[in-house]
Amino acid sequence: MTESGYFSFRPSKTLQFLIAGLLLLSITACSAKPSEESGSAAVTASSVQTEKEPITIEYWQYEFPAKVELINTLIQEFETEHPNIKVKQTNFPYDQYNQKVATLVPAGKGPDVINLYYGWLPKYVQSGYLQPLPESSFPGIAEAFFPFVDTAKLNGSYYALPTGVRTLGLFYNKDLFTKAGLDPEKPPTTWEELVSDAKALTETDKNGQLVTEGFAWEPGSQLHHWFRDGLLYQAGGKDTSEDRRKILWNDTPAGLEAFKYLVDFATVHKVGINGFYTDDANAFKTGHAAINVDGSYRLGSIKKDTPDLNFAVAPLPGYKGKSTQASFWANAIPANVTGEKLEAATAFLQFLISKGVQEQWVEKVGELPAQKEVALQDKYVNDPLLGPFISQLNDANAHFFIDETQERTLFVNAVDEVLLNHVPEEQAFNDLVAKTQKLYDDYWAKQDKKK
Amino acid sequence: MRTTGVIPSRPKRRLWFGSGIGRLNYRHKQRLFIYGGLLIPLLYFVVIRILPILYSFNVSFREWGMLSPDKPFVGFDNYATLLSDSLFLKSLVNTGIYVVVGVPAQLIAGLIVALLLQQVVKLRGLFRTAYFIPYVTSVVAVSWIFRWLLMKNGIVNALFIELGLGPQSFLYSPSQAIFWIIAVMVWQNIGFQMLIFLAGLQNIPKLYYEAAAIDGATGWQRFVHITIPLLNPVMLLSVVMASIGFLQSFTQVLNMTGGGPLDSTISVVLHIYNLAFKSFDMGLASAATVILFVIIFMLTLVQLKVLGSRFQQE
């Protein structure tokens, strides 16, 4: 409601009166808070000068109970180490997160350290919400962290750093392996083995209806990530160009090969279907799917929902190379944080990525350490459930997102075109690349216009 | 809010501002109470509903990236983008299907249940409750239960196979999915519809039916010439409410198919939701909201005009 007036019509007398009244009301309602705010700010500012009161910084993350609880304990730990800093944690529901940030930060109520999904970073950075992390306080990131942390490097600087990370792995049901006459200690390690095992594990009834999925097949869940960061690289392809402007999926035959490999599970091998027991995670947890490609975060929900499930985890099967997908929530510092607050925020961020915190993060939250030194300790590498995920961290890619929902929908639709409309795979794939490229082109055109 | 006494021609009015409330007579106090009482909900309504609507008009003319600090005015750009966006057009067509199929289905189903219930003497309350319960059940829960029932290896498909009809794709079929969602929406709304029709039916004087029976009218004739015309005001209400309901289809779609397969079930409101809270493009989302608002507004006006005039004639 700034410059161009949108009340260009001439309202009648009564309406004018009503509008005037409403405006008055809204003005009084709005003005009440900022005046309070500025008052209290003035008080703290003056008291800092006199007797060095502790600085309070605010940490924002979304509502995920394990993370919220752990951060609360960590804050206590941090405050004993830094008696002159106080940290206040604020949480928002996941689906309101961006909305809250967008409305509260411009109002001067923003956080001093903020937790963001890595896929949102380009949007945040381009809108000028974040400042690059001070290099002097965070040296040697490239060496200390696993390669996927590169995604947080924009315009040549790191804008955010993760505490923990998730990767994709192969979950498999040991009981179903034994039942199908397969060795439960020998999960598939190659593309071919995955197909033959999945076939052996699939069970249908007399009507030809699936009873057990050999391979849980849900493109809308994790399979689109598996394609982009797993299969594509394994077949020798690449996701995007260095400047993240061009989709390279069909630059080599690898892309189509990976796409076909994925779709064939449903169309040719018929080992899994969309929506079996509502979705892949559910089918796997209830013992109706033998193999599932899923993230390390699933370990926690299996432990909670189906603690008796006899399952194991293996690295994703490889082909010409190895690769898996990584994704993470990272901590960043908003652009408007300066002076003493910036120092305090930097200290807190350093604390959040410290070895001790990362170790607690694995144990309490279940996300893997993002730093090599922490992750590659024997106790994690040799852990039967964490080990397979950790062993893949070096080959993990975190792809760049323009718009996660749209990109996923495009992928799911391409697969559905083959499945439901019997469009040839090659055509569906080329359409997918073209549509995804258009999404990227539109995005970059807008960005270039802004510059 | 002071008038500063510019209108001297009506001195009585001065009572409102000039003298204390205590000196008002009883009728004035009564009026003050009534209008005061009405004003509070009105203010609430204006602040919560009307102002955001006006504000979204403003947003719809801007490039309103959720996170960007500047929101430049772009005129009708957002509208142009939407109207050339095949997905938005698809969502408009789908929403049309929701309304055109859903509204009559809901009305007919509700009327049938209401008529049957009227005949029931024993356990009337029980039946009414049974039909009404779905309406007060959480939409999300209902959506998920049906998603479970309608999955490929679900109970409904087992029944279909048993009956020799062969397995169906249900929610995974681009041609079927939308109708299954409509079916669930209708099922859930039958209770409400039934209740409105029951109230309407009870308002029809028995006398008419008795007179018609004496004249030798059959049951069907009585239904067509007495029940239907006299239910008209109730139907008008139902059609308007059901149309608005189906135009705003969202929760069931989001939870049952998420708009798929191949965008065959995506509704305008789901599209708006995706634009706003997934792509964070508030400008586009607001423009879509304004378009939907205009459609609902126009459609309701037309319905009131057409159906309402028929009611007045009869």
Whether B66 contacts chain A with CB within 8 A: yes
Q: How far apart are CA A445 and CA B17, in angstroms?
A: 61
Model confidence at B280, in pLDDT bands (50, 70, 90)? confident
Q: What share of chain A is helix, strand, coil (3-state, %, to 5)?
A: 50, 20, 30
Other beta carbons within 10 Å of B240: 19
Does A403 contact chain B (CB < 8 Å)?
yes
Q: Are A92 and A109 in contact (CB under 8 A)?
A: no
Interface test with B, best of A8, A123, A408 (most B CBs within 10 A): A123
| % of chain B with per-residue pLDDT over 90 | 46
Q: Do B261 and A420 touch (CB under 8 A)?
A: yes
Region B240-269: what's the mean pLDDT?
93
Instruction: List chain A residues with CB under 8 Å of B42.
Output: none
Interface test with A, best of B151, B161, B266, B279 (most A CBs within 10 A): B151
| A229 and A326 Cβ atoms separated by less than 8 Å | yes
pLDDT band at B22 (very low <50, low <70, confident <90, very high): low
CB within 8 Å: B69 and A127:
yes
Check: CB of residue A331 under 8 Å from CB of residue A161: yes
Q: Could you write out the DSSP letters of every residue in B251-262?
A: HHHHHHTTT-ST
Look over chain B and give the mean of its residue pLDDT values, rounded to a whole number: 86
| DSSP strand pairing (A289-295 vs A210-215) | parallel
Q: Residue A231 is encoded by which pair of tokens?
A: 């299969």
Q: What are phi and psi of A252, to 5 degrees?
A: -125, 165
Interface A–B counts its CB contacts (< 8 A) at 99
E strand residue ranges, A143-200 = 153-154, 157-158, 160-162, 164-173
Nearest Cα neighbor of B290 from B71, B93, B54, B46 is B54
A286-304 pLDDT, tens per residue?
999 999 999 988 888 888 8
To the nearest whole angstrom, how far is the Cα of A266 from the nearest Cα of chain B? 14
Number of other CB atoms surrounding residue B306 within 10 Å? 12
Amino acid at B93: V
The residue of chain A with its CA nearest to that of B69 is A127
pLDDT for position A296: 87
Say if B261 is an interface residue toward chain A (CB within 8 Å). Answer: yes
B226 vs B230: CA distance, rounded Å: 6
Task: Render pLDDT for A115-144 as a digit per residue (tens, 0 to 9).
Answer: 998 888 887 887 788 999 998 999 889 999
Q: Which of A1, A92, A127, A411 would you mutate first to test chain B, the one with the most B CBs within 10 A?
A: A127
What local confidence, expressed as pLDDT, does residue A51 receive? 53
Task: Find, among A394, A389, A419, the residue nearest to A274 by Cα.
Answer: A419
Residue-wise DSSP of A204-268? E-TTS-EEEEEE---IIIIIHHIIIIIIHHHTT--SB-TTS-SB-TTTSTHHHHHHHHHHHHHHT
User: Maximum distance among all alpha carbons in chain A?
Assistant: 85
Rama region for A86: left / alpha / beta (φ>0; ψ in -120 to 50; rest):
beta
Work out the angle between the directed axes of helices B282-313 and B232-247 (0-180°, nearest 10). 170
What pLDDT does residue A11 have?
43
Cβ contacts of A99-106, under 8 Å, gap ≥ 24: A99/B66, A99/B277, A101/A60, A101/A129, A101/B67, A102/B66, A102/B67, A102/B280, A105/A129, A105/A334, A105/A336, A106/B69
The predicted pLDDT at position B293 comes to 92
Chain B residues near residue A127 by CB distance under 8 angstroms: 65, 67-69
Q: Calculate Rg over the CA atoms of chain B.
A: 26
Phi-psi region of A353 (alpha: psi -120 to 50; beta: other; left: phi over 0): alpha
> What pLDDT shows up at residue A103?
76
**What are residue A309's phi and psi, to 5 degrees?**
-60, 125
At residue B18, the pLDDT reads 47
Asked if omega into B134 is within 30° of 0 (cis), the reply is: no
| Complex ipTM > 0.85 | no
Touching check for B49 and chain A: CB below 8 Å? no
Chain B residues with beta carbon closer than 8 angstroms to that of A406: 274, 278-279
| DSSP class of B172 | G
Which of A293, A179, A289, A307 has its CA nearest to residue A230? Answer: A293
Helix or strand run (H / E) with residue B93: helix B86-119
The pLDDT value given to residue A244:
86
> What is the spatial distance between Cα A113 and Cα A88, in angstroms, rounded to a whole number?
10
Q: Which of A441, A433, A428, A439 is nearest to A252 (CA)?
A: A433
Across B17-32, average pLDDT: 72
Give mean pLDDT, residues B176-187.
95
Q: A129 touching B, CB under 8 A?
A: yes
| pTM (2 d.p.) | 0.80
Regions of chain A where pLDDT drops below 70: 1-52, 106, 450-451
Q: Which residue has the tokens 């079927």?
A: B176
For A164, left (φ over 0), alpha (ψ -120 to 50), or beta? beta
Q: Which pLDDT score is estimated for A71?
A: 94
**Stated length of chain B:** 314
How distant is the Cα of B151 from the closest Cα of chain A, in angstroms?
A: 6
CB atoms A98 and B66 under 8 Å: yes
Interface-testing mutation among B165, B176, B275, B278, with chain A (most A C-beta atoms within 10 A): B278
pLDDT in tens, A310-325: 999 999 999 998 999 9
* Spatial distance between the Cα atoms of A254 and A258, rounded to a whole number of angstroms: 6
Question: Is B279 close to A406, i.e. CB distance below 8 A?
Answer: yes
Residue A98: φ, ψ to 5°: -60, -35
Q: What is the pLDDT of residue A16?
A: 52
Q: What confidence tier does B9 reach under pLDDT thresholds 50, 70, 90?
A: low
